[in-house]
Amino acid sequence: MPTTDRKKIKAWSDILFMPYSKEKFNDLDAEKGIALNEFKAYLLPIVQGKRYHLTDDIISDLIRAEYEDERLTDEEIVTFSLGLLAAGNETTTNLIINSFYCFLVDSPGTYIELREEPKLISKAIEEVLRYRFPVTLARRITEDTNIFGPFMKKDQMIVAWVSAANLDEKKFSQASKFNIHRIGNEKHLTFGKGAHFCLGAPLARLEAEIALRTFINAFEKIELSSLFNLEKCLLENEQTLNYLPILLNNR
């Protein structure tokens, strides 16, 4: 994607991943539909152009891909590319901002420890993934059911609250405590499990590690700004922050 379009792609992604609420459901649903159509309209000519000028990138690889003499259509490649750009953007952004919140609020002193022992960064990322689940997963019920206990009607929205599993004391000792030295913290369910395991997990881990390692090497000390207000910074899903004002010291 052209680097000049990053803000546009980020804006569409943010809208698509905005959490639903009863008060804003219809308006937000319409806004998501507009963003989705604009995103697809943006990607389609890029995909079509790549068919005539293949390069060394993911879209070109998808165009080249063939299985049992069949190739992906433009629409399929657009849908795949949209998912890759939107999902990979929102979740990794939340992971990084949650990391700094954990280091500054949940476990003060962790940032200094990571500067002294950078080899702990990958363990710290796994603990952030376990402790502060970066995104909610909402789905619409397709038919009346009581499979989860209470009766639920068709078209009702449900949310898979993975945080509950990640904070299960039967699985993680002192689960409500943030601890980068925890043994087995990578056994969280943040990336799903089995056939539903997130294909982008290795990329998300790599992006977060590069970002944190670069930041930690550049800044000796960080602290929360006096402008920080948790209620104002929280997104509506209350699982991540919209922004986190911090003060930096590179000496």
The three-point CA angle 207-214-216 to 5° equals 120
Decide if pLDDT at 207 tops 90: yes
Taking only the tens place, the pLDDT of each residue in 185-204 is: 999 999 988 988 888 899 89
109: region left, alpha or beta (phi > 0 left; psi from -120 to 50 alpha): left
* Higher-confidence position of 149 and 132: 132
Rounded to the nearest integer, the mean pLDDT of the chain is 88
The token pair that represents 231 in the structure block: 């209620």
- Give the integer Cα–Cα distance in Å for 128 and 102: 7
Taking only the tens place, the pLDDT of each residue in 142-199 is: 899 887 778 888 888 777 788 889 999 999 999 999 999 999 999 999 998 898 888 8
- Give the integer Cα–Cα distance in Å for 78 and 62: 10
Burial of 213 (0-12, 13-18, 19+ CB in 10 A): middle
Range of the domain at 205: 3-249
How much is the pLDDT for 131?
94
Decide if pLDDT at 231 tops 80: no
Q: Is the pTM of this model over 0.95?
A: no
CATH of the domain at 74: 1.10.630.10
Q: What is the domain count for the chain?
A: 1
Decide if pLDDT at 251 tops 70: no
How much is the pLDDT for 218?
93
DSSP structure class, residue 239: S
